[in-house]
Amino acid sequence: MSGDWFSGFDLRQDRTALIDEGRALDYGELARRCRAQAIALLGDRNDLDEERIGLLLPAGADYVTGLHGIWLAGGIAVPLSPSVTGAELDHYLSTAGITRLLTGPDVSNSVRAACQERSVALIAPSNNHAPGDSALPELGLERRAMILFTSGTTSRPKGVVIARRAIQAQVTTLMQAWEWSAEDVIPCFLPLHHIHGIINVLSCALWSGAQVHMMPRLEVGRLCEEVAAGAYSVFMAVPTVYVKLLEHFSNLDSAMAGRVKAGFARMRLNVSGSAACPVELFKRWEAATGQVLLERYGMTEIGMALSNPYRGERRAGHVGSPLPGVEVALFDEQNQPVTATGMPGEIRIKGATVFREYWGNPEATAASFHDGWFCSGDVAVIEDGYFRIMGRSSIDIIKSGGYKLSALEIEGVLLDHPLIREVAVIGLPDATWGELVAAVVVLQPGASLELETLRAWCADRLSPYKVPRALHVTEALPRNAMGKVTKPELRKLC
């Protein structure tokens, strides 16, 4: 990421980089705007010196120039969800020590209040400066470039620090493995505060000189019209999106459905990841479009680690083998490598793609590595060289529509509800979302609570995708001899 990626922007000048709200932006103009944004951020400084700058913008040209402007100026970009609540934002601002938030004019009052409370300046995208000869800092690959917040087995999300070298490694391994080229065109509708959208879609495309159609949210109807018109060559999504597309196909008249399916059939690649793709979904997608989904496995802390082959057998229910330059092995509970075929072990990863640290949390960083391997918490087996994910070691992690959610974080919020005495949050299997958030609660004596009332109460405390979709009221939570809630038993109650 020394400069190669950005000099690529300059070299391509007239080629279209982005389509944003129907308007095309070429690489030359994109490069000019990114530099101008960097200069605006620098003011009279030479280097932002890893200043943390929040990025709260919808998917569009301003997001892209904001992200690259921060990178070019030597800052650390902290992309945040547009649906962030004030309480969630306060945690991000304080944990990452964010000093400025790059955002648009329609920012919510709760975001304004959270920023005011922490003296964080709200700044608007600024790319009108003429870059002229202003020098940008020389930046080594060891510099930190991005913090992404991820939920896990702790109650509050942790900030995953990704250095320039790791971004470079994450992008280049995918460009090589999936044969990205400047001829590619991809829609970008996944959230741009997670690596799936930032690295796999946006960065791989821009580093390859490809074209990205920015969409602030998934609009299935519009997307399908563009697919039918042959707009795209590559498509990347979480399994929930493929389920939603199949549902949409069945609501279209047969001529239109045929055109959309033919549009997918003509693409060179359809990728699924961020959550398990059920074998049935893999088969239904192939039957509908002729596309054999390429399933891969990754994580915020490590980028992509495992992938089915671009050329070769893509095996349903499997996530393939290690990507170029990524070391992946299975380990048992005694930290011994698992070598026998078909024996489960924890997936551990080494290589240049791995993150640097959890921001300001050396204990959590140390706990997540063993002998230099990053311990993913995911359990897999290897069958004929293909990894198959068996599950996660923690029941407190929920994957809903590709978002990783912490049961503990949601429990922490629900416990503040005046009518709730005890709570346990679990993920329930769901055909569309993979898992759905369910809350099992013990109420204060004589109290009653409806799901919709609880959801309304959660609205300004939790991002929409974390809000429980199911509520079960019980007299007591099942506990083991140690007094710990036995969550597997809760599934039977719901």
Q: Give the binding site for ligand AMP (CB under 6 A).
A: 150, 273-276, 295, 297-300, 319, 376, 378, 389, 392, 399, 404
Burial 390-411 (b: 16+ CB within 10 A, else e): eebeebbbbbbbbbbbbbbbbb
Q: Return the residues of window 364-423 that contact ligand MLC according to CB under 6 A.
A: 400-404
194 binds ligand MLC (CB under 6 A): yes
Q: Select the binding partner of residue 261 from ligand AMP, ligand MLC, none (C-beta < 5 to 8 A, by kind).
A: none
Element (H, E) at 478: none
Q: Return the residues of window 242-261 that contact ligand MLC according to CB under 6 A.
A: 244
Select 185 or 238, whichever has its Cβ closest to ligand MLC. Answer: 238
465 binds ligand MLC (CB under 6 A): yes
For residue 162, the minimal CB distance to ligand AMP (Å) is 12
Under rule CB under 6 A, how many of the chain's residues touch ligand MLC? 25
Which one of 123, 141, 218, 262 is in contact with ligand MLC (CB under 6 A)?
Answer: 218
Q: Which residue is nearest to ligand AMP (CB)?
A: 404
Instruction: Please name which of 54, 110, 118, 120 lies closest in space to residue 81, comparing C-alpha atoms.
Output: 54
Q: Select the binding partner of residue 378 from ligand AMP, ligand MLC, none (C-beta < 5 to 8 A, by kind).
A: ligand AMP
Q: What is d(CA 79, CA 196) in angstroms, rounded to the nearest whole number?
A: 13
Which one of 66, 159, 298, 345 is in contact with ligand MLC (CB under 6 A)?
Answer: 298
For residue 455, the minimal CB distance to ligand MLC (Å) is 7
- The token pair that represents 336 in the structure block: 């011994």
> Residue 78: phi, psi to the nearest 5?
-120, 85
Q: What is d(CA 422, CA 174) in angstroms, rounded to the nearest whole number?
A: 45
Rounded to the nearest 10 degrees, how much is the dihedral formed by the CA atoms of 412, 416, 420, 422?
A: 30
Q: Select the binding partner of residue 243 from ligand AMP, ligand MLC, none (C-beta < 5 to 8 A, by kind).
A: none
At 421, is the secondary structure helix, strand, or coil? Answer: strand
Burial 54-72 (b: 16+ CB within 10 A, else e): bbbbbbbbbbbbbbbbbbb
Place of tokens 């007239």: 14
Distances (CA, A) of 281 to 239, 256, 269, 320, 393: 8, 21, 16, 17, 24
Select 65 or 150, whichever has its Cβ closest to ligand AMP. Answer: 150
464 binds ligand MLC (CB under 6 A): yes
Binding segment (CB under 6 A) for ligand MLC, from list 20-28, 189-197, 346-354, 390-398: 189-197
At 344, is the secondary structure helix, strand, or coil? Answer: coil
195 binds ligand MLC (CB under 6 A): yes
Binding interface with ligand MLC (CB under 6 A): 190-191, 194-197, 217-218, 238, 240-241, 244, 273-274, 298-300, 400-404, 433, 464-465
